Structure 1
Amino acid sequence: MATASLRNPGTDLRPEWFEQIRINTPAVERRAATLPVRRSLKKEWQAGWILNAILCIDLTTLAGDDTEDRVARLCAKAMQPIAPDQLAAMGVDSLTTGAVCVYPTMVGAAKRALGNSGVPVASVATGFPAGLMPLDLRLAEIRYAVDQGADEIDIVITRAHVLQGNWTALYDEMRAMREACGPARMKAILATGDLKSLENVAKASHVAMQAGSDYIKTSTGKEGVNATLPVSLVMCRAIRDYQDQTGFKVGFKPAGGLKTSKDAIAWQVLMKEELGDDWTRPDLFRIGASSLLGDLERQISHYVTGRYAASHRLTMA
């Protein structure tokens, strides 16, 4: 069997694996609604899950006014997201976020700022967030980011291929992107809020994995609706089906909409119950949310000190 350390090589396009998928939406919604209340986590158990969520965050800046200084501050926060004295009080030596995510032109700045910390640099590419650029330009953007040193590439798909059921076009596009990524791991952003149905989400997930995606990701964070538990549940079950078919494990990344520690715990519960413990670690699970870190840090401060810190004491990068 494959392990989490092995990349997903993909397969030929096999529509028979997903063409007959039908989703019982009310059943999915009922199952998803139970997740936040299935586990009562208090005190040190809750704090442990919060620390684990921090370990899985892709700390992100994707603003039009990004500068190298802003990226350097973000990288400093990624390398030390929780104050050392608070970590020491919890018996933890060190902690980093799962990665830093930036635009391609900021990859070099991020690599310099992170140095030998071991924190990966992820770059969005392929005309993020809409992806409505000629394919050769999208592939060139991937290659540029990889040349700059990106360890991971978050690509966006052409939503029209999904809405039209043109699975061959979607597969061919993503296969070319996977090749352009070279050694960098590819995260396929499905923009699920644009896909109209859970069946489309499931089918797009299968095509992305067959094309060789290392992770499938819910959203760009720019859609009207981003990560939700029902959508995430459908994608997780697609990952489980793909592993059953191929033996390869594909990661999952919810993005957008996760703002509180309760959200972070709910998605980790989803991972643990639907996919297993391997998907509670950054090799196979990432959270695309930077504002979330502020609340996680606040909860850790409360756990250690017994009181909530003023917001200015928990500054984001």
Structure 2
Amino acid sequence: MPLDMAWVRSARANTSAIERRAATLPGRRSIKKDWQAAWLARAISCIDLTTLAGDDTPGRVARLCAKARRPVAPELLDALGLPDLTVGAVCVYHDMIGPAVDALQGTGIPVAAVSTGFPAGLSPWHLRLAEIGESVAAGAREIDIVISRRHVLTGDWQALYDETRAMREACGPAHMKAILATGELGTLRNVARASYVAMMAGADFIKTSTGKESVNATLPVSLVMIRAIREFHERTGIRVGYKPAGGISKAKDALMYLALIKEELGDRWLRPDLFRFGASSLLGDIERQLEHHVTGAYSASWRHALA
């Protein structure tokens, strides 16, 4: 849709109220027993299982993809009645798309690729667009792009819109997740405005972080972005997905994010096409919690190693 500057400028963020709302969530939402197991299984289905390390190899990616295909021990999945449970996607750098596509052949699990000069987004513009095209051609069905933070910090919303829209067009049939790098945007108001601009430019998802910033996903930032998504849907009828990423490593944290989504957006957003976790270690803790649910005993973390 065209950039609506009046809408963007109208965005406000009451920081104290937002932080108070986020702080009360853990005390008001306690999910136990069978319900907890069900919510944790849903969390697994929404994980973008990620490896973004400089020493990634085809072998490491293949092992990660094996975990994506069978995220929890088969006996636990059978006990839960979920033998076909998989993660939402596998997220890698461009060079690892080929090995990931090969390892996930026939599973229906999409490969997501970080692009556009990830994580800083400061490579030459034509190279950022070319990188998107190369990743789509290599088999990535989802592209995680990074916005230019300087456009937000200087209030150049038109430039942010133009760049994001061009990236969306370069993605073609692939879904585009726009990473806002919220820890580097300065204020919650900037987070809200950047969220609106990204959605107006055609982002299929808005995502908190690259995972490389000093501050990544938080509940206050999530609340701002989720409410922007809700207002966007109310005004346009278009559903945009949400992806918190970075620093989410415990099952109890995943439950808080799911509860926030349910309260603010409703059950429709609790599905992989509209909600994802960007995580590398979260799955291990969820698997430990599910084993405790099935057996009544906690296991050592090394029994559920990733990659």
**2:22 is the alignment partner of 1:32:** yes
What are the within-5 Å matches in structure 2 for residues 298-313 of structure 1?
298-313=288-303
Among 105, 115, 123, the alignment partner of 1:115 is 105
Query: Match for residue 145 of structure 2?
Result: 155
Distance (whole Å) between structure 2 residues aligned to residue 20 and residue 60 of structure 1: 36
**2:87 is the alignment partner of 1:101:** no
Among 27, 44, 69, the alignment partner of 2:59 is 69
Query: Match for residue 12 of structure 1?
Result: 2
Indicate if the aligned counterparts of 1:84 and 1:94 stay in contact, CA closer than 8 A: no
SS at match of 2:31: coil
**2:34 is the alignment partner of 1:44:** yes
Query: Match for residue 3 of structure 1?
Result: none
Distance (whole Å) between structure 2 residues aligned to residue 104 and residue 37 of structure 1: 41
**2:206 is the alignment partner of 1:216:** yes
Query: Match for residue 7 of structure 1?
Result: none
What is the identity, as a one-letter code, of the residue corresponding to 1:281? R
Indicate if the aligned counterparts of 1:139 and 1:180 stay in contact, CA closer than 8 A: yes
Stretches of structure 1 that go unaligned for 5 or more consecutive residues are 1-10
SS at match of 1:224: coil
SS at match of 2:279: coil
What are the within-5 Å matches in structure 2 for residues 59-208 of structure 1?
59-208=49-198
Structure number with the bigger relative contact order (C-alpha 8 A, sep ≥ 6) is: 1
Distance (whole Å) between structure 2 residues aligned to residue 315 and residue 230 of structure 1: 31
Query: By how many angstroms is 1:35 displaced?
Result: 1.6
Distance (whole Å) between structure 2 residues aligned to residue 257 and residue 269 of structure 1: 18
Query: By how many angstroms is 1:51 displaced?
Result: 0.8
Among 285, 294, 298, the alignment partner of 2:284 is 294
Distance (whole Å) between structure 1 residues aligned to residue 25 and residue 276 of structure 2: 18
Indicate if the aligned counterparts of 1:36 and 1:265 stay in contact, CA closer than 8 A: no
What is the identity, as a one-letter code, of the residue corresponding to 2:200? Q
TM-score relative to the length of structure 1: 0.96
SS at match of 2:277: coil
- When the two chains are superposed, the root-mean-square deviation of aligned CA atoms in Å is 0.7
Indicate if the aligned counterparts of 1:36 and 1:262 stay in contact, CA closer than 8 A: no
Percent of aligned pairs sharing the same letter:
66
Query: By how many angstroms is 1:39 displaced?
Result: 2.1
Query: Match for residue 278 of structure 1?
Result: 268
Deviations 1:97-116 (A, max 9, x none): 00000001111110000001
Query: By how many angstroms is 1:38 displaced?
Result: 2.2
SS at match of 1:209: helix
Distance (whole Å) between structure 2 residues aligned to residue 80 and residue 37 of structure 1: 33
What is the identity, as a one-letter code, of the residue corresponding to 2:283? L
Distance (whole Å) between structure 1 residues aligned to residue 112 and residue 27 of structure 2: 33
**2:236 is the alignment partner of 1:246:** yes
Stretches of structure 2 that go unaligned for 5 or more consecutive residues are none
Query: Match for residue 8 of structure 1?
Result: none
